[in-house]
Amino acid sequence: MRTLVMLLVIGTLSVVFSQSDMVNIGTILTLKTINGRVASIAMKTAVDDINSDPNILPGKKLNLTFHDANFSGFLSIIGALKYMEADIVAVIGPQSSVMAHVLSNLANELHVPFLSFTALDPSLTPLQYPYFLQTAPNDLYQMTAIAEIVSYFGYREVTAIFTDDDQFRNTIYTLGDQLSVRRCKLSYKAPLPPDAALSPQDIHDALINVRSMESRVIVVHTYSKTGLTIFETAKSLDMMKRGYIWIATTWLSTVLDSSGISASNASLLQGVLTLRPHTPDSPKKRDFESRWKNLSNGSVGLNPYGLYAYDTVWMIAHAMDKFFNVGGKISFSNDSRLSGLKGTRGLNLGALSIFDGGKQLLANLLKTNMTGVTGPLWFNRDQSVIHPSFDVINMVGNQGLILGYWSNHSGLSTQLPETLYAKPANRSSSNQRLKSVIWPGNTNDKPRGWEFSNNGRPLRIGVPRRASFKEIVTQVNGSDEIHGFSIDVFLAAIKLIRYPVPYEFIMFGDGNKNPSYTELVNKVAYNVFDAAVGDIAIVTNRTKAVDFTQPYIESGLVVVVPIKEINSSAWAFLRPFTPLMWAVTGFFFIIVGAVVWILEHRLNDEFRGPPKQQLITILWFTLSTMFFSHRENTVSTLGRMVLFIWLFVVLIINSSYTASLTSILTVQQLSSPIRGIDSLVTTNDRIGFQVGSFAESYLMQELNIPKSRLMALGSPQEYAEKLEAGVVSAIVDERPYVDLFLSSNCRFQVVGQEFTKSGWGFAFPRDSPLAVDMSTAILTLSENGELQKIHDYWLKRKTCAKPNSDSDQLQLESFWGLFLIFGVACALALLIYFCMVFREFGKHHSEELSEPSPKSGSRSVRLQRFLSFADEKEEISKSKLKRKREMSIVNGREADSRNRSNRIQAEVVEDQL
């Protein structure tokens, strides 16, 4: 029994109801739709189950009121306003996102939560609409699943057919965003009027436009009735044949589960892919499914949205149970802003009231933690339901075969999402899996995903009209025939594509000078041309505008400079070494002779004799080592060590001299100091480049060379003229052009290395599938050798002998290490030798050195004695020392005898005295 108590508060009239046995909730559905019929049965069953369960809302009774929107947004608004006049604590609905945007504002003002399992527009954000909750996975996840399916099969462009209202339009925008994340794109959108204004002709016209597009991947996002009509019309337009890929959103699985697919519709839907919200298997779900036939009297089949409807009622019941458990009471307050507003015929806008417990009920709903027939139920921080996932279904006959599953956790997989959510996330491409698909046309072969638009226009292919290097591209005078290396590669590649490619060549340029290749590429980007074929270098700025095929020839910028022949000269043999190198080498030849003579003089008879003979011996010995023909033997250890090192030095010098002289006498030499791009940049000389080439922008932007130093040249003849005249010091151009130029101009050569790495390719608009197929064809040409044959036919010419640009006089810097080692060895050997000689000299003249002598002349005398000793042969010195020792012994004995006789004589004299 309800008791009404009126309380007067300053400025506000509050109406507070005493605790009632009735908890009123409302629902706004279109009951004639499939989801409306299924949801109404499921929600009535949920109310009955709740009211019969003593553990939930004890002492209370849940009352559910239905309002049929009957496909009308206006009636949906009227229903919501009527609910706000009554003591309704929550509303389930609306069914469409169109009305959700409107009624969510009403929910925000009156604090009555609205819960929907079908209005799943991703733009219904909790920041704007906090009182609107989506109790099923919203369409952001469905569009993500579709984008990943498209990417999984390798498609890059998608066409969307959709009903142009809030229920579907915003979702299609979301699909475009998700595709772009995966480097795909929504290339065409075909909007349809809402169902109330839709006619069969609208669908026919939309499909005609879709058929004229290149993309054959078509997503259908609409209402179920409209969707079936679309496929019926597509069948009549021959758009359900092999080559098409159709993806329907969840509306098709809803029809499959609740109404079934008739035999007539089965042929329309053969090979179509669709999605179904995934609900894990559980005892609760199986029990509810077993009851469904009796609950529905067989009028409609159960679909996942019926399960979400059932769980939504239970969510409200649990939230209200928590509300009452903390002492909450159902009460409403009038809004002062609405006072005085009165409707007519029973609608009183002034009676709209604010649910005082709305904030608490909303908080309880967001804290939901229960297990329903759809599995675990609770909300993320962004108010989205946890574990969004879908079944991926392939329509075969009148059945839907499950190919796999998509989950926000691990992407596409053939494993159940509930098992994957228990494991660490793994979204790597290698982990994405689906079963084999039966495509439209009843084929297992994956469609290409695109076709040429059937508007009768062939591809417009831009071809540069070159004024030079016509081996690359040339147009036969007086005809439309185009030949050349690039053209033949294109023609050979196009033959390998398994489908017809209609095309026509359109020449670009005036023929008087080479056109700008950057401008040609931009015309492809702006759809003036459908492609560009020619010697187009693949560089960074161009790849930002268009897609290129696989390079069909390697290229890169090189530097070309003049060369000159070496003039014959009687002194050509002196060229390998610089003057300094000759001087240092001659000096060391003298040094080695002197060192070896010093080390061998006292031991080796071959290094002894008169001074004149010894000088000749030194000179002959040191010069003969140059040819390893010295006849004098070395007997000392130190002498042999020095000679060994010197012979190694001579070996290196001889080898280098021979190689350098051979190069100088047989190879042309540069007439320019430029050795590559580095030395070219540091000069102030002018640089030539080919008209239309990217070399100009590269030199200016990357190498900071001022434009005043650059000169545009139009032909190989102009290259030669400007180089020979000294107008430019070097030419910078791509390698293939340079090879052709040098094949008939042997007076020039490349210096340094290629300082860019690129190649030539064919340009296509961004994300063009033909670019991928052409790349595959070019790789095939490369593998079977056909590409090399085309190259050799057009570009292989008689070439000049490749000069060695590095051949030059040998510098001292190349050998200073050898000379240093040899010098150290000589110094060390001399130090050891003189230490030994001084030691021996000390033994021979120890007495003389100890005797005092006048200061003047003593040093010169000692020096003369030392030089005389050093000049003596070691054997003579040793024999002299031996005789001296023997004489000292004899003299000692004689002295002893005299001393003894003197003592005896003294003793005799003493005795006589």
858-882 confidence digits (pLDDT tens): 667 667 766 676 666 666 666 666 6
**Residue 351: Cβ within 10 Å count:** 18
Beta strands in 587-674 (DSSP E): 669-670
Residue-level pLDDT at 819: 65
Provide the pairing of β-strand 459-464 with 503-508: parallel
- Does 346 or 563 have the greater pLDDT score? 563
* C-alpha closest to that of 301 among 313, 312, 293, 290: 293
Q: What's the rounded Cα separation, in Å, for the pair 32 and 299?
A: 12
Average pLDDT over residues 797-819: 54
Please report, as a single letter, which amino acid is at residue 317. A
Residue-level pLDDT at 9: 30
Please report, as a single letter, which amino acid is at residue 460. R
Q: For residue range 271-292, what is the model confidence (pLDDT) as tens digits?
A: 999 999 999 999 999 999 999 9
Of 91-105, 224-238, 355-369, 645-659, the one with minimum mean pLDDT is 645-659
Q: What's the rounded Cα separation, in Å, for the pair 152 and 36?
A: 34
Instruction: List C-alpha distances in Å: 514 to 308, 532, 637, 694.
Output: 68, 15, 75, 12
Q: What's the rounded Cα separation, in Å, for the pair 101 and 124?
A: 7
Lateral strand order in the sheet of 399-407: 185-192, 157-163, 217-221, 245-248, 273-277, 389-396, 399-407, 411-413
Q: What's the rounded Cα separation, in Å, for the pair 407 and 388?
A: 6
Average pLDDT over residues 811-834: 69
Write the CB contacts of 652 (distance below 8 Å, at least 6 apart in sequence). Answer: 815, 818
Residue-level pLDDT at 142: 97
Q: φ, ψ for residue 372 (rounded to 5)?
A: -110, -165
3-state secondary structure of 607: helix
Q: What's the rounded Cα separation, in Å, for the pair 21 and 509?
A: 87
CA atoms within 13 A on the CB side of 126: 16
Write the CB contacts of 349 (distance below 8 Å, at least 6 apart in sequence). Answer: 81, 338, 341, 342, 343
**Using CA of residue 841, residue 845, residue 846, residue 851, what is the dihedral sign?**
negative
Instruction: List C-alpha distances in Å: 749 to 104, 559, 707, 754, 801.
Output: 78, 8, 24, 13, 10
> Which H or E run includes 160?
strand 157-163
Write the CB contacts of 504 (distance below 8 Å, at least 6 apart in sequence). Answer: 458, 459, 460, 461
Instruction: List C-alpha distances in Å: 572 to 660, 665, 805.
Output: 11, 8, 18
- pLDDT-derived band at 204 (thresholds 50, 70, 90) equals very high
What's the count of helices (H) and strands (E) in the chain, helices before strands? 29, 33
Which alpha helices (H) appear in 331-462, and where do they start and end? 358-366, 417-420
Q: What's the rounded Cα separation, in Å, for the pair 416 and 438?
A: 21
Q: What's the rounded Cα separation, in Å, for the pair 537 and 355?
A: 70
Q: What's the rounded Cα separation, in Å, for the pair 65 and 28?
A: 9
Q: Are 97 and 223 in contact (CB under 8 A)?
A: no
Average pLDDT over residues 628-646: 72
Highest mean pLDDT among 67-71, 144-148, 569-573: 144-148
> Which H or E run includes 490?
helix 485-495
pLDDT at 430 over 80: yes
Mean pLDDT, the chain, integer: 84
Instruction: List C-alpha distances in Å: 92 to 83, 135, 137, 369, 582.
Output: 11, 10, 16, 19, 103
Q: Are 43 and 309 in contact (CB under 8 A)?
A: yes
- Does 222 or 573 have the greater pLDDT score? 222
Q: For residue range 13-46, what is the model confidence (pLDDT) as tens digits?
A: 333 333 458 999 999 999 999 999 999 999 999 9
Write the CB contacts of 738 (distance below 8 Å, at least 6 apart in sequence). Answer: 558, 560, 731, 750
Q: State pTM to two decimals.
A: 0.67
**Residue 397 bridge partners (DSSP):** none
Angle between helices 786-795 and 735-743 (to 10 degrees): 50
* C-alpha closest to that of 156 among 185, 190, 188, 189: 185
Q: What's the rounded Cα separation, in Å, for the pair 414 and 403?
A: 7
State the Rg of the chain over Cα: 51
Q: What's the rounded Cα separation, in Å, for the pair 774 and 489?
A: 10
**Residue 418: Cβ within 10 Å count:** 19
Residue-level pLDDT at 195: 81
3-state secondary structure of 608: coil
Q: Measured between alpha carbons, how far apart are the two ends of the chain, in Å?
A: 179
Residue-level pLDDT at 862: 67
3-state secondary structure of 537: strand
Residue-level pLDDT at 339: 58
Q: For residue range 698-730, what is the model confidence (pLDDT) as tens digits?
A: 999 989 999 999 999 988 999 999 998 889 999
Residue-level pLDDT at 692: 85
Pull the structure tokens for residue 634: 């070395």
Pull the structure tokens for residue 435: 């079963």
Quote the distance between the C-alpha of residue 197 and its chain's center: 48
Of 40-49, 602-611, 671-680, the one with minimum mean pLDDT is 602-611
Write the CB contacts of 741 (distance below 8 Å, at least 6 apart in sequence). Answer: 560, 716, 719, 733, 748
pLDDT at 808 over 90: no
Q: Are 245 and 178 in contact (CB under 8 A)?
A: no
Q: For residue range 456-509, what is the model confidence (pLDDT) as tens digits?
A: 578 899 999 988 888 898 877 656 788 899 999 999 999 998 888 889 999 998
Quote the distance between the C-alpha of residue 334 and its chain's center: 61
Provide the pairing of β-strand 273-277 with 389-396: antiparallel
Please report, as a single letter, which amino acid is at residue 229. T
Question: How big is the chain, counted in residues?
Answer: 913
pLDDT at 385 over 70: yes
3-state secondary structure of 80: helix
Pull the structure tokens for residue 873: 């042969």
The 10 Å CB-count burial string (b at 16+, else e) for 6-37 is: eeeeeeeebeeeeeeeebbbbbbbbbebbbbb
- pLDDT-derived band at 631 (thresholds 50, 70, 90) equals low
Residue-level pLDDT at 812: 57
Q: Are 451 and 243 in contact (CB under 8 A)?
A: yes
